[in-house]
Amino acid sequence: MRKLRMGMIGGGIDSFIGDVHRKAACLDGMIDQVCGAFSSSAEKSKRSGAALFLPEDRCYGTFEEMILKEKELPEAERMDFVSIVTPNHMHFAPAKMALENGFHVVCDKPMTLTVEEGKALEELVVKTGLLFALTHNYPGNPMVKQARAMVANNELGKIRKVQVHYLQGWLATSVEKTGQKQASWRVDPSKSGAGGALGDIGTHAENLVEYITGLKIEEIAADLGRFGDGRVLDDDGNILLRLENGAKGTMSFSQIATGEENNLAIKVYGEKGSLEWSQENPNRLTTKWLDKPMMVYTPNGKSLHKDALLASRIPAGHPEGYLEAFANVYKNFATHLNAKLANNEIETPDYPTVSDGVRGVNFIHAAVESDKNNSAWIKLY
């Protein structure tokens, strides 16, 4: 066991999600950032690295330079994995190059712009035997893990119905026309891909449904909206879901829901009981039953399953939230990678993988196709 060495691609000065990744990766003391290619501008990349107190010779002008030069370093010095925190259109190329040169990968979602690119990465992961984590962070929450364990343990009985929504309001006005950086690339198909809000937050909702229920979404019927002036990509959507066991579901996502911040919530209904979790009140998992009173679970509280306890960091009654959940993705990835370096096996690694990434990209394209065909039902596979 040792600290793992991380190189970052993207996440330079003024980056939002890059800083979140850095804090999350370092929270458990298992990972050190040792290098980076932080921007498409070599000068800005160098300034970003200096601000992070990295050695000048480990701050690279391009991701290609970083991967090739790190590969030349002695094994005891070079990075172990790359963390890719760029806009969507810059996920595939560095992930592919990193895998081809022997480096493990952590990548932000959605994984790629096309299903073909996603499958190419999946094939590379199988071929190389390298690890690939996708940073859907919400499954890292202890109460989400408790929900998953309860479903897997058949405590709710057969799942019949799922309702999930992710509502934001930050694109309720045309902020992209003011030069707002985060908005500008998200409404641009060349950078965001086929989905707007669909790819940005709809994929979180999709992943949460499959993670908690353990069921794959087989078919969808999507109605996407474009309310912002001149927007090509969706900023709102409603989707009907059919899950593999026959369960039905509804999904609503929006970035024009005025006044909303990050209102991600899910309800799962089974034959014997139901559960409800909200990201904005993440320390409460509410369950309701046919034959007993409502119960509320909390992190590090009573009657938790093992995975929920392992994801809880602090004494019961203290808040755990977004950053800690994000950190659990990195912690579980680091635990798996350390085991792999020690030639040990972990049977079921608990973090989103390259296969989840392929499913997410396929979900985006299926929803876009359904919307173009008057909300026709589309099979995901």
Least confident among 68-77, 257-266, 342-351: 342-351
Give SS3 for 322.
helix
CB atoms within 10 A of CB 49: 25
Phi and psi (nearest 5°) for 37? -125, 95
In CATH terms, are 4-130 and 141-315+358-379 the same topology? no
Report CA dihedral (301, 306, 308, 312) to the nearest 10 degrees: 70
pTM over 0.75: yes
What is the predicted pLDDT for the residue at 347? Answer: 80
Among 158-162, 210-214, 311-315, 357-361, which is the least confidently predicted range? Answer: 311-315
* Contacts for 129 with CB less than 8 Å, ≥ 6 apart: none
The superfamily in CATH containing domain 4-130 is NAD(P)-binding Rossmann-like Domain (3.40.50.720)
Q: What percent of the chain has pLDDT over 70?
A: 100
Amino acid residing at 364 = I
What integer is the mean pLDDT of 353-374? 98
User: CATH topology for 141-315+358-379?
Assistant: Dihydrodipicolinate Reductase; domain 2 (3.30.360)
Residue-range domain boundaries for the chain: 4-130, 141-315+358-379
Q: What is the pLDDT of residue 381?
A: 81
